[in-house]
Amino acid sequence: MSFAELGLAPEILRAIDEMGYSEATPIQAKAIPLVLSGRDLLAAAQTGTGKTAAFLLPILERLKKFANPSVSPAMHPVRALILSPTRELADQIGVNAKAYTKYLPLRTTTVYGGMNMDPQVAELRRGIEIVIATPGRLLDHIQQKTIQLNKVDVLVLDEADRMLDMGFIQDIRKIMSLLPKERQTLLFSATFAPEIKRLAADFMRDPQTVEVARQNSTNAQVEQLVFAVDGFRKRALLSYLIRQREMSQVIVFCKTKISADQLSRDLKRDGHAAEAIHGDKAQSARLETLERFKSGEVKVLVATDVAARGLDISELPFVVNYEMPNSPEDYVHRIGRTGRAGASGVAISLMSPDETRQHESIEKLTKQTLTPLPLPEGFGGRPPRDEADSAPRRERSERPERTDRADRAERTDRPDAPRRSERAERGERSPSLFGDKPRREGRHAADSREPRDTHDEGEGRKTVKLGIGGRILPQRQREVPALLLPPRYKVER
């Protein structure tokens, strides 16, 4: 179905045509007429199928009657509010909104955290019809009274399941309480969890449901590969796959910010153009990294799940799950970064032995069997020792061990040195390495199993005590106080 058949205004169709879009996707063809009718909508579709245009285009059509070139802020109140869970997704929606309103006098802006509020305040005070925001930053503006929501006609919750996962439910309820009761509510998501349906029951009025694909299914255009590999070999395998498959552009997902930073440093040492992006990065740095990735300057983008939603990279060929996600829904969103808009893609998952539970959860959610593939040569577990390597060890173990010290004496450089057995017959002692010291009698009693004491009060001898098993107990000499010692010199009076 073409966009012209959906009843959109010529100004909107012109902007769409300049962006290269002519045919509507299934979610757009089903959702746009329902949104134009003013009904509440609960829509589910695979990531990358055009959900953003499915709610933006009909919103622009509905707000077209309010469009005016006036410079007065009072003539441009907030008419549409779009809530996004992440800054990247909010920024992506804002870029599309500006492109679609190219030939309409409707103002749009994006507000999210990590940026200075002053420019955002200046934008809001001059009048804005469409506001795209993250919940936290929007509440900041509400608290400072820099935005009014009493004339909002349309509310959109994009990626609502993600907002619930991130703990935004209380913020959403607070924002909802400030909106007019007579409004249109649109809820778009890639997955439908039971919590989403409860949220729809609380805030929506008899919503229409649209599903263009099986719930929580993955894109058929994405080839899913799994490698079962030890954790300490993951980085080497990833580096090998990047080179072997000639990945010119790939997003690698990690679970934590620390692991993302560490992996990006390791990949740089391997010679790859890699950068990390996560929540601890400044928003300006995150946007700069994304621009470098889109331009091709950065080949490998190591990201946490903060980038799993909202990144719209045209024709992204590869996605790698370096660490399996704890939530199987996140797997659907991760691999949804590739294979967008009908293009094909490859999603590779590196599964360590302690990640089999996550693997099973993903198979259960997507109703697919993801069988691990054979590893490339050299990336398996510790290889078994072959016979050639073990033969020398067996030869050494089978060789009779010579313990006769007489034989060792024969190999010495002193052929005239008497053997120990001959010295023993003559009653001579073996020379000590540290001098010829008298041997203590207590040592000869070490073979005895009965504890006994040996006393020798001769000059220069010490008392030796034997403990259980005949072992010699350590001796501790008793120290004499210095005051009791005889003087070293004579004191003259």
Per-residue pLDDT of the chain (493 residues; tens, 9 = 90+): 788 888 899 999 999 989 888 788 888 999 999 999 999 999 887 666 788 899 999 999 999 999 999 999 999 999 999 999 888 889 889 999 999 999 999 999 999 988 889 999 999 999 999 999 999 999 999 999 999 999 999 999 988 877 877 778 889 989 999 999 999 999 987 667 777 778 788 888 888 888 876 556 677 788 999 999 999 999 999 999 999 999 999 999 999 899 999 999 999 999 999 999 887 888 788 888 888 998 889 999 999 887 556 566 777 899 999 999 988 878 888 888 887 766 788 999 999 999 999 999 999 888 889 999 999 888 865 443 343 343 334 434 444 444 444 444 444 444 444 454 454 455 555 444 344 444 444 444 444 444 444 444 444 444 444 445 555 555 555 555 555 556 565 555 5
What b-and-e string marks burial along 75-89, b requiring 16 or more CB atoms within 10 Å of the CB? ebbbbbbbbbbbbbb
Same domain, residue pair 243 and 314: yes
What kind and span of H or E run contains 276?
strand 274-277
Q: Among residues 335, 366, 397, which one ends one of the domains?
A: 366
Rounded CA-CA distance 54/35 in Å is 9
pLDDT computed for residue 443 by the predictor: 44
* Sequence-ordered list of residues with C-beta below 8 angstroms from that of 456, at least 6 positions apart, any chain: 441, 463, 464
Domain total in the chain:
2
At 472 the pLDDT is: 54
Q: Provide the pLDDT for residue 313.
A: 73
Q: Of 150, 179, 211, which closes a domain?
A: 211
CA nearest to 348, candidates 358, 356, 338, 363: 338
Q: Are residues 241 and 361 in the same domain?
A: yes
For 48, residues 6+ apart whose C-beta sits below 8 A from its C-beta are 219, 312, 336, 337, 339, 340, 341
Same domain for 296 and 150: no
Same domain, 40 and 150: yes
Give residue 115's pLDDT: 86
Cα–Cα dist 459/467, whole Å = 24
206 domain-assigned: yes
Do 152 and 258 belong to one domain?
Answer: no
| Domain limits for position 297 | 222-366
Residues 193 and 301 in one domain: no
CATH number for the domain spanning 255: value is: 3.40.50.300
Question: Does residue 472 form part of some domain?
Answer: no
Does 312 lie in the same domain as 190? no
pLDDT at residue number 393: 41
The vertex-468 CA angle with 467 and 471, nearest 5°, equals 55
Provide the pLDDT for residue 1: 77
pLDDT of res. 59: 95
My answer on whether 29 and 168 are in the same domain is yes
